[in-house]
Amino acid sequence: MKLYDTPLAPNPRRVRWFMAEKGIDDIEIVTLNLIAGEHRQPDYLAKAGVPNVPALEMDDGTTITESVAICRYLESRYPEPNLFGRNPEETAVIEMWMRRGEMLVSNPLMMMVRHTHPALAALEAQVPEIAEKNRESGIRGLKLLDRRLAESEWLAGPRLTIADIVAFSGVDFGRMIKFQAPEDLAHVGRWIAAMRARPAAAAGMPQAQAQPA
Amino acid sequence: MKLYDTPLAPNPRRVRWFMAEKGIDDIEIVTLNLIAGEHRQPDYLAKAGVPNVPALEMDDGTTITESVAICRYLESRYPEPNLFGRNPEETAVIEMWMRRGEMLVSNPLMMMVRHTHPALAALEAQVPEIAEKNRESGIRGLKLLDRRLAESEWLAGPRLTIADIVAFSGVDFGRMIKFQAPEDLAHVGRWIAAMRARPAAAAGMPQAQAQPA
């Protein structure tokens, strides 16, 4: 298998984080330079179908994009530690929290960054109202997570799962514009600190990318 | 099990459609009136955790929201016909197309409706620029689906899957503001007609809700 990856962007980081939690180190990683447009080259588009990173090329040559689809596939090949659920009931609760974390927190915070950070102005026209709406949405989502984290160590239960990785990817991406979760969300603050303290957090950082082990 | 449902909204429709494809008819359906605020009543919030519909109450009392998490759980209980994949490779391709359909098509078209339709102005302040951005995004997504549907009968392969149901939910919701897919997207046009012709399409219509069999 081969993983097409890029530093800095939040979605590829989810897969690197997921792999680090599982200790997966036997997949070839190909780092694409998005600034140089390597994700828009014909060879890559023929594989991935879309100019998106990450992409996973399976052993049979099938290539898939979408970070969560890639992670779920990796879970089938590297089952431990379990990050998607051990039975249908647990899987359902984890997927629910993953989707809440993605739709209510990560996506709006990523949109906030995209419509704010000067370096991303080249991607599409930035609209201040869109940035602000998404900031408000992301904070509403964080309040929901705070209520959840008041009663649960991790988003989906007593252990870290894909839900935490997906939700955190957007929160941490907000650092690009110095976004911080409101300080009164103490449980979110505790969770953010716990995420940053995981060894896997380093797998998402550009310096780790620049210095592959 | 008990499904908390509401007519008109696109996410509950996914679950009804999914159940109809599988012929599931032995789950109690509780219809909530959102205009009357039944999804904000303490009893419902205590179960669902959020004022969102649909929600599925499992036999053990656990209640989950999120249409896709509900559908995946139902697949574990009612495996045929298979709509999520029969092995990890197929599951990965289906999830990839489901997420592309959701993120690139359904979500933007739903946002377009939310920021356009007069009846939804009460939900949040409508911003014409957000409506327009999302319309453009949705059409870009439909162009991707058109290229895919030029080579595949359904989004994820030779049979209908959860990917089609999720992508179509947003497209059809666009009808609320008379949105139509661009006519030059012939493969999308063929697919939309095929979706509307499925017996399960009726399970999503308000009249089917008002007249339960």
pLDDT at B208 (0 to 100)? 42
The pLDDT of residue B210 is 37
Segment holding A29, helix H or strand E: strand A28-31
Question: What are the beta bridge partners of residue B56?
Answer: B3, B64
Q: Give the whole-angstrom CA distance, residue A137 versus residue B114.
A: 15
Alpha-carbon torsion (B74, B32, B163, A16), positive or negative = negative
- Chosen from B18, B57, B96 to mutate, greatest number of chain A CBs within 10 A: B96
Chain-chain contact of B144 with A50 (C-beta, under 8 angstroms): yes
Q: From start to end of chain A, where are the E strands? A: 2-5, 28-31, 55-57, 63-65
Integer distance in angstroms from the first to the last C-alpha of chain B? Answer: 19
CB atoms within 10 A of CB B86: 10
Place A121 in a pLDDT band, splitting at 50, 70 and 90.
Answer: confident
The whole-angstrom distance between B201's CA and the closest CA on chain A is 25
pLDDT of residue A203: 82
Q: Which residues of B touch A60 (CB under 8 A)?
A: 89
pLDDT above 90 covers a percentage of chain A that reads 86
Average pLDDT of the residues of chain A: 93
* pLDDT of the residue at B213: 35
| Statement: residue A211 has pLDDT above 80 | no
- Residues of chain B with C-beta less than 8 angstroms from the C-beta of A68: 95, 99
Q: Provide the 8-state DSSP code for B54.
A: -
Q: What angle in degrees, to the nearest 10, is found between the helix axes of B67-77 and B162-173?
A: 140
Give the pLDDT confidence score for residue B122 in this predicted structure.
Answer: 79
Q: Which of residues 109-148 of B touch A (CB under 8 A)?
A: 127, 129-130, 133, 144, 148
The residue length of chain A stands at: 213
pLDDT at A213 exceeding the cut of 90: no
DSSP conformational letter for A119: G
C-beta of residue B130 within 8 angstroms of C-beta of residue A132: no
Residues 6+ apart with CB under 8 A from B179: B109, B112, B113, B135
Q: Which of A11, A50, A56, A66 best probes binding to B when mutated, by most B CB atoms within 10 angstroms?
A: A66
Cβ atoms of B98 and B156 closer than 8 Å: yes
State the nearest Cα–Cα gap between A148 and chain B, in angstroms: 9
Closest CA–CA distance from residue B33 to any residue of chain A (Å): 23
CA distance to partner chain A, nearest, from residue B88 (Å)? 6
- The conformation of residue A103, written as its DSSP 8-state character, comes to I
Q: Supply the pLDDT for residue A209.
A: 40
Residue written as token pair 């009392």: B61
pLDDT for residue B209 is more than 60: no
pLDDT of residue A210: 37
- ipTM surpasses 0.95: no
- The DSSP output letter for A152 is -
| pLDDT score recorded for residue B205 | 63
By the CB < 8 Å criterion, does A99 face chain B?
yes
Per-residue confidence band for A173, with pLDDT thresholds at 50, 70 and 90: very high
Q: Which residue has the tokens 């895919």?
A: B148
Mean pLDDT, all residues of chain B: 93
At A212 the pLDDT is 38
Task: Find chain A residues with C-beta within 8 A of B92's C-beta.
Answer: 58, 62, 64, 69-70, 72-73
- Residues B117-147: tens digit of each pLDDT: 998 887 778 989 889 999 999 999 999 999 9
pLDDT in the model for residue A8: 83
Confidence band of A142 (pLDDT split at 50, 70, 90): very high
Quick check: B92 and A73 CB within 8 A?
yes
Q: Across residues A87-100, what is the average pLDDT?
A: 98
Q: What is the pLDDT of residue A206?
A: 53
Regarding beta strands A2-5 and A28-31, do their DSSP bridges make them parallel or antiparallel, or are they unpaired? parallel
Whole-angstrom distance, CA of residue A65 vs CA of residue A192? 27
Which stretches does DSSP call E strand in B2-157?
2-5, 28-31, 55-57, 63-65
- Among A43-52, A118-127, B33-42, B61-70, the minimum mean pLDDT is found in A118-127
For residue B77, pLDDT over 70 is answered with yes
Is residue A207 pLDDT above 70, yes or no?
A: no
Distance CA(A18)–CA(A160), nearest Å, equals: 11
The Cα-based distances of B45 to B50, B53, B119 in angstroms read 6, 11, 24
The pLDDT of residue B20 is above 80: yes
Question: CB-based contact (8 Å) between B89 and chain A?
Answer: yes
Collect all residues of chain A within an 8 Å Cβ-Cβ radius of residue B91.
Answer: 72-73, 76
Residue B35 has pLDDT above 90, yes or no: no
> Is residue A179's pLDDT more than 70?
yes
Q: Which of B21-25, B42-46, B130-134 is predicted with the least confidence, judged by mean pLDDT?
A: B130-134
- Cα separation, A146 vs A104, in Å, equals 13
How far apart (Å, rounded) are the C-alpha atoms in residues A166 and A151?
20
Q: Which residues pair with A4 in a beta bridge?
A: A30, A55
CA distances (Å), A145 to each of A149, B96, B149, in order? 6, 26, 38
